[in-house]
Amino acid sequence: MKIHEYQARDLLGKAGIPVPPATVVDNPEAAGHAFKANGAPLQVVKAQVFAGGRGKAGFVKLVKTADEAVAAAKFMLNNKMVSVQTGPEGIEVNKILIAAAVDIAKEYYVSITLDRNRGTPIVIASAEGGVEIEEVAKKNPDAIIKEPLHPHLGLLPFAGLKVARKIGFTGKQASTVAKLLVNLSKFYMNSDCSMAEINPLVVTKQGEVLAIDAKVQFDDNAVFRHAEIAALKDDSETDILEVRAQKANLNYIKLDGSIACLVNGAGLAMATMDVIKLFGGSPANFLDVGGGVTSDGAKEAFRIILSDPKVKGILVNIFGGIAKCDLIAQALIDAGKEIGFKVPLVVRLEGTNVKEARVLLDNAKTELPTLQTAVDLNDAAKKVVAATN
Ligand code: GDP
Ligand code: MN
């Protein structure tokens, strides 16, 4: 689960990380009032969206007057932001953050995320923070420091100090940064984060250390343990199809290919995507309808995958265990009648009640003219790739 920068700043502030105060507004006039109320001669206006790369996209602006603040807010609220992290379609901005600008001497990068290979969270840090961090990672990976956390104790103070020194801090500033990293690690562990990133962490010309951007994500499977975090959820920023899928208990992730897949079981869904790739296609989504899917759930799944205009074909791959093949076949036929499948549909069913399912599908072929059945997964992938090319 993602949250906005302003929410993350608030949480990090409470966790003992120095974050400058800010105001959040949802209209340009309020941005002007916030500028005047703050009174600082130079302020920063920032779009609040679930994507980074705002600085380069023109959605982080320094302003000197209330009128400039209003204009910047107007621009951000009326234009979709397109950045390296959003894809060409961009995302809408609904909220704006305003804060006194910080006088930056140097920008650093610090984050904690899960290292799946090590099976433990790690600190990632660099003296070359700011908007170019992706470039630094590509061109100069040695400038990025990694330090694993103890899986139960988090980042120990000596390890925090080691990281602070490695990215160039000395003296009192090094212990300030070490403490900040330890606090970040406590926050990460206590809140079940999957990511807690500060980019940039800055040293001001006055020598103060401040977090001026924050990106925090939580492990979806642990959010139920934190009512105060669950309350921060903002569905308006999540892909509308993913929100619908969550409500129907479907695990759906939109991808950018053209072959939609509907599968039961995450492992089988991954394998299905691999086999589509193997035969030269590209998956339009990951979709695991789960073991206990109902007829209504399956219908909603078809509606969701078909609302993606890029979809040129559908592959249904079901191993009927708890969800029986005939239930899926019937849902598919009902959905077909309701929505009307215009794109090729290839179905591979195996498992409980497969015979009954095949009879249902054979009888439905006049109503579903784009339907083909397949004997196994390779056959299904070949057929759907051929039909969409
Ligand atoms: P991002 O591009 O989405 O990561 O947005 P950030 O909040 O990190 O802002 C991008 C860049 O804008 C930062 O790396 C800074 O260089 C600059 N910036 C942000 N806030 C301030 C500020 O208060 N003062 C100054 N001088 N620059 C800022
Ligand atoms: Mn940033």
CA distances from 76 to 30, 142, 321, 369 (A): 14, 36, 50, 47
Nearest Cα residue to atom 2 of ligand 1: 55
Q: Which ligand is nearest to the CA of 62?
A: 1
Residue 236's pLDDT is 77
Q: Could you tell me the two tokens for 14? A: 């409470």
Residue 281's pLDDT is 97
Catalytic residue positions? 109, 197
C-alpha to C-alpha distance for 59 and 47, rounded to whole angstroms:
6
Report the sign of the C-alpha dihedral through residues 122, 123, 126, 132, in that order. positive
Residue 3's pLDDT is 95
From the CA of 199, how far away is ligand 2's center (Å)?
Answer: 4
Average confidence (pLDDT) over 358-373 = 91
Mind giving me the DSSP string for 348-365?
A: EEEETTHHHHHHHHHHTT
Residue 238 has pLDDT above 80, yes or no: no
User: Within 13 Å of residue 274, how many CA atoms lie on the same side as its CB?
Assistant: 6
Average confidence (pLDDT) over 95-120 = 96
From the CA of 200, how far away is ligand 2's center (Å)?
Answer: 5
The atom of ligand 1 lying closest to the CA of 100 is: 23
Residue 24's pLDDT is 98
The crossing angle, in degrees rounded to 10, of helices 157-166 and 171-190 is 120
Q: If we measure between CA atoms, which residue out of 73, 64, 58 comes closest to residue 27?
A: 73
Residue 323 has pLDDT above 80, yes or no: no
Q: Could you tell me the two tokens for 310? A: 């890029």
Percent of the chain whose pLDDT exceeds 90: 75
Residue 195 has pLDDT above 90, yes or no: yes
From the CA of 95, how far away is ligand 1's center (Å)?
Answer: 17
CB of 15 sitting under 6 A from ligand 1: no
C-alpha to C-alpha distance for 28 and 269, rounded to whole angstroms:
45
User: Residue 338: how many CB atoms within 10 A of its CB?
Assistant: 10
pLDDT digits (tens, 9 = 90+) for 25-77: 999 999 999 999 999 999 999 999 988 899 999 999 999 999 999 999 999 99
Nearest Cα residue to atom 10 of ligand 1: 55
Dihedrals φ, ψ of 345, to 5°?
-130, 115
Q: Which ligand is nearest to the CA of 4?
A: 1
pLDDT digits (tens, 9 = 90+) for 249-288: 899 998 989 999 999 899 999 999 999 999 999 999 999 9
Residue 313's pLDDT is 95
Q: CB–CB of 211/181 below 8 Å?
A: no
pLDDT digits (tens, 9 = 90+) for 335-355: 888 877 889 999 999 999 999
Residue 337's pLDDT is 84
Average confidence (pLDDT) over 379-384 = 97
CB of 44 sitting under 6 A from ligand 1: yes
C-alpha to C-alpha distance for 180 and 176, rounded to whole angstroms:
6
Residue 87 has pLDDT above 80, yes or no: no
C-alpha to C-alpha distance for 305 and 315, rounded to whole angstroms:
11
From the CA of 232, how far away is ligand 1's center (Å)?
Answer: 24
Nearest Cα residue to atom 15 of ligand 1: 130
Residue 298's pLDDT is 84
Which range (22-31, 153-162, 365-374, 376-385) has the least confidence? 365-374
Q: Could you tell me the two tokens for 334? A: 């009902």
With left for phi above 0 and alpha for psi between -120 and 50, is residue 171 left, alpha or beta?
Answer: left
